[in-house]
Chain A
Amino acid sequence: MKIKTTLMASTAALLVLSGAAFAASPMAGETLAADQTFTYQDIDESPSIDPGMVEDVSGSAVVRNLFEGLMNQDADGNLIPGVATGYDISEDKMTYTFHLRDNAVWSNGDPVTAGDFVYAWRRAADPATASPYAWFVTDITGIKGAGAVGSGDATPDTLGVEAADDHTLVVHLERPVPYFAQTVTHGTMFPVHQATVEAHGAEWTRPENIVGNGAYVLTEHVPQERMVMERNASYWNDGETVINKVVRLIINDETQAFTRWQAGELDLVGVPTGQYLSLKEQYPVEIYSNPRLCTYYYNFNMRPDAPEWMQDVRVRQALNLGFDRSVITEGILQAGQIPAYTFTPPTTAGFTVPVVDAAAMTQEERTAKAKVLLEEAGYGADNPISLEVLYNTSEGHKSIAIAISQMWKENLGIEATINNMEWGTFLEARGAGQFEISRAGWCGDYNEASTFLDLYGSASGYNDAGYNSAEVDALLAAAKTAEDPQPLYTQVETIAAADAPIIPIYFYTSVGARQATLKGWPDNNVENAWYARDLYKVE
């Protein structure tokens, strides 16, 4: 028998009852502008705007405007109804049943059915499609049989997703995946119109061919120049849409884009590198810096063959504490980045950051403690540590590595040399554990703590530190089936903070400039999942 879990019951009930999705909602006293055209800049053209093929962040934004998945995200990244009004989860958490609304239609008038999702997901996973994001379906979602479909060992129709009827989509998972519902907001999981895809092949995404189910339809696309999306009158929630036209301009040059923004040609642009602070002073309202679901950190090499000092948790902690992160964020990066003392960004949905000593201390206290720890471990002037920091070639990474090694030398007397490698070579060396300390950056694939914490698992392919904790492994396994995995996540982070397999350095931010007249931007959505239908412009 299927039951709704306590957590989801309230959510699902709420979703069905309210029936309303997040939409553009001008506040009292605001007068809507006569011209509701939203013009924004992207740096480069996207390889594809086909949901099954999309691979870049800016292309995903286009996909979110032209198509709609089962669930959407609100301004804070919470799930809200999309094509589905809600969903049920089976008792064993292995079966998800999505209930599709009956008024969702494609831009050609066809109804959006559960079969469209089945087709789209099979297509994305099928190696014959050769989607650069096939891994999202095959490795991340945990849909039954996805791995075998992805490797070509099973036919796409064995994928564990079925249309019980036109408005009921049943998904069978291989294992409980606490974040599964989150994954359906990802472009790769959006439906595609089978007849259109089959009729036009790769060219189905051109304006003259495309059929979508989003709030906007594609009316013009000149690659490397512009893309125009106009309001889709047949979209089920069109009544609450305000922006009539979305214009996406490709402007390679950041400075040029910013000048055009200053001239009022665009509503939203990126901020030229290195100019955030000075421009923020000039445009305090317009320039923003929003948290992202990404962490910059250093790995310790914890493999058995690593140097002896690195096996000592006190030394690792000393290195973790012995430098000032604000020098990096405020002195070097200068774009509102947030110093990090834990791996999972605090903005991750549902995640409670554990109380970590390092975060609460002042830098003087951290440095003092680092000195004590290092002394306890038996290292100092008479027994100095020398180490090497490995990073992939980039001026930015270099500045950070220099700053940190300088601070280690001043504060702890540690001799650190820095070494860089070209990206491909670097990945190989890091993966093989041929380093002492290595740079890393990680962005969440979905908005749930496990997208970060799974890297602490001893079996993770991205566990470059070689961290191996039976306790963490057990907690991560338990989290997969737990009613509420969040306390377990917090526990994992607490253990990791004590073991220090990595040095968290900072959390990334996304910076941009928007006209003060543009409202409704989801500043708190850490995946930067914005929907033009939620925006509006005021006088």
Chain B
Amino acid sequence: MFTYIARRLTVAVPTILILITISFVLMWSAPGSPFMGEKLPPPEVMANLEAKYGLDQPYWKQYVDYLSNVIFHFDFGPSFKFKDRTVNDIIAQGFPVTLTYGFWSFIVAVTFGVGLGVTAAIKHNTWLDYLAVGFAIGSQSIPNYVMAPILVLVFTLWLGWLPGGGWEGGTWDHIIMPVIALSTSYFASIARITRSSMLEVLNSGFIRTAKAKGLPMSRVIIKHALKPALLPVLSYLGPAFVGMVTGSVIIDQYFSTGGIGQFFVNSAFNRDYSTMMGITILVGTLTIIFNLLVDVLYAWIDPKIRY
């Protein structure tokens, strides 16, 4: 197991390096300049700006400097757009926001998704099953950019219960709607995967044996069926978790949370290369780490898997 983890880690490092390299190349080959507005600054100003951000150096030197700053100092450099912020500042501000509602979305999606999936499988082909499946398909077919405005319309405009956006340090009333909007589609996927996997498991031989031994249904489900049934769900949770904690760009934009997704999109429009790079590397690294975690969990849960 430990050799497996060590092996995976040695692969992860070059993967991240490749990610940084590709982002770096793409960034410098993209047309346009972060300093170009309606009026191009005079050459003297341009030269000073380029010197300030190290853009006057040859590409290889910029690359080496960037890499060593990121790796040895965890320093993503100054933002090209926000004059008084570094990319580290931006991540330090935006990431906890996204992480907070991403975490709660994850909890909500898993709890309700698994619960609903299991219920539907047990009550297979009853009205409860149909209702659960209908609900799941319905939720999944409402994208979050439709869900978010509906929530705001109902809870902010009509009922006046919740603020229509903002974060204000993350008070509970600012978290509710982003969590609902973000978790809905994940919740629906989890419910559907759980249901079909559970159905498969419930029809397998060892469950029949367990039932034949006269075990109560609840014990059959919890002790024997749940663990194998959750394996497919688990493989889905890795990317889902990264997706949720690194923020749905739409949720950040729509609810104006000041989260990382908002910076990500705007940095692309503004050609704020350093911010774009920093967030890309952050998301990439998280994806690699969580995929690794999921694989390890897999090995731990599934006795059939040996590394």
Known pairs A131-B45, A135-B39, A256-B254 / 5 extra A-B pairs, C-beta < 8 Å: A45-B266, A48-B84, A50-B83, A223-B93, A224-B262
A259-B258 in contact given A127-B42, A130-B45, A249-B166 (Cβ < 8 Å) = no
Q: How far is the CA of A206 from the CA of B266 in the complex (A)?
A: 21
Q: Indicate if the CB atoms of B45 and A134 lie closer than 8 Å.
A: yes
Q: B residues within 8 A CB of A55?
A: 37
Query: Is A250 engaged at the interface, CB distance under 8 Å to the other chain?
Result: yes
Interface mask (A409-427 → B, CB under 8 Å = 1, otherwise 0): 0000000000000001000
Q: Are A223 and B156 in contact (CB under 8 A)?
A: no
- B277: which A residues are within 8 A, CB to CB? none
CB-based contact A224/B266 at 8 Å: yes
Which residues of the partner chain B approach A134 to less than 8 Å between Cβ atoms?
Answer: 41-42, 45
Residues of A within 8 A of B165 (CB): 249, 251, 256, 260
A222 touches B156 (CB 8 A): no
A205, A223, A224, A249 interface centre (most CB from chain B within 10 Å): A224
Residues of B within 8 A of A53 (CB): 83
**Which residues of A (146-168) have their CB < 8 Å from a CB of B?**
150-152
With contacts defined as CB atoms under 8 Å apart, how many contacts are there between chain A and chain B in the complex? 120
Contacts of B49 in A (CB 8 A): 130
- Cβ B84 vs Cβ A150 within 8 A: no
Cβ-defined contact, B254 with A205, below 8 A: no
Which residues of A sit under 8 angstroms from B103, Cβ to Cβ?
A: none
Q: Assuming A127-B48, A206-B84, A250-B256, is B266 touching A44 (CB within 8 A)?
A: yes
Instruction: Report the separation of the CA atoms of residues A226 and B257 in the bound assembly, to the nearest whole angstrom.
Output: 9
| CB within 8 Å for A223 and B82 given contacts A152-B44, A250-B256, A251-B256 | yes
Q: Pick the residue among A150, A226, A249, A252 that contacts B262 (CB under 8 A).
A: A252
Indicate which residue in B156, B253, B263 contacts A259 across the interface (CB closer than 8 Å).
B156
The answer to whether B254 touches A151 (Cβ under 8 A) is no
> How many residues from B make CB contacts under 8 Å with A?
46
Tell me the smallest distance from the CB of B156 to a CB of chain A, in Å: 5
B163 interface contact, C-beta 8 A = yes
Q: How large is the interface on A (under 10, 10 to 19, 20 to 34, 35 or more residues)?
A: 35 or more
Q: Could you tell me the distance between the alpha carbons of A128 and B41 in the complex, rounded to whole angstroms?
A: 13
How far is it, in angstroms, between the C-alpha of A222 and the C-alpha of B258 when the chains are bound? 7
For B42, give its contact among A135, A203, A222 (CB under 8 Å).
A135
Most interface-central of B35, B82, B255 (chain A CB within 10 A): B82
- Across the interface, do A249 and B163 meet the contact criterion of CB distance under 8 Å? no
Question: Which chain A residues numbered 201 to 216 have a C-beta less than 8 Å away from chain B?
Answer: 202-206
Q: CB-CB < 8 A to B110: which residues of A?
A: none
Q: How does the 8 Å CB contact mask read for B70-83 relative to A, with 1 for contact and 0 for none?
A: 00000000100111
User: A47 at interface (Cβ–Cβ under 8 A)?
Assistant: yes
A225's nearest neighbour on chain B, judged by CB, is B258
Residues 179-225 of A at the B interface (beta carbon under 8 Å): 202-206, 222-225
Contact A265 B164 (CB under 8 A): yes
From the candidates A127, A206, A225, A253, name the one contacting B166 in the complex (CB within 8 A): A225
Q: How far is the CA of A131 from the CA of B45 in the complex (A)?
A: 7
Q: Are A47 and B149 in contact (CB under 8 A)?
A: no
In the complex with contacts A256-B149, A259-B152, A225-B82 CB distance below 8 A = no
Q: A206 — nearest CB in chain B belongs to which residue?
A: B84
- A249 and B256 contacting across the interface, CB-CB below 8 Å: yes
Within 8 A of B (CB), among A244-261: 249-253, 255-256, 259-260
Is A263 part of the contact surface with B, judged by Cβ < 8 Å?
Answer: yes
Contacting residues of chain B (238-269) with chain A, CB-CB under 8 angstroms: 253-258, 262-263, 265-266
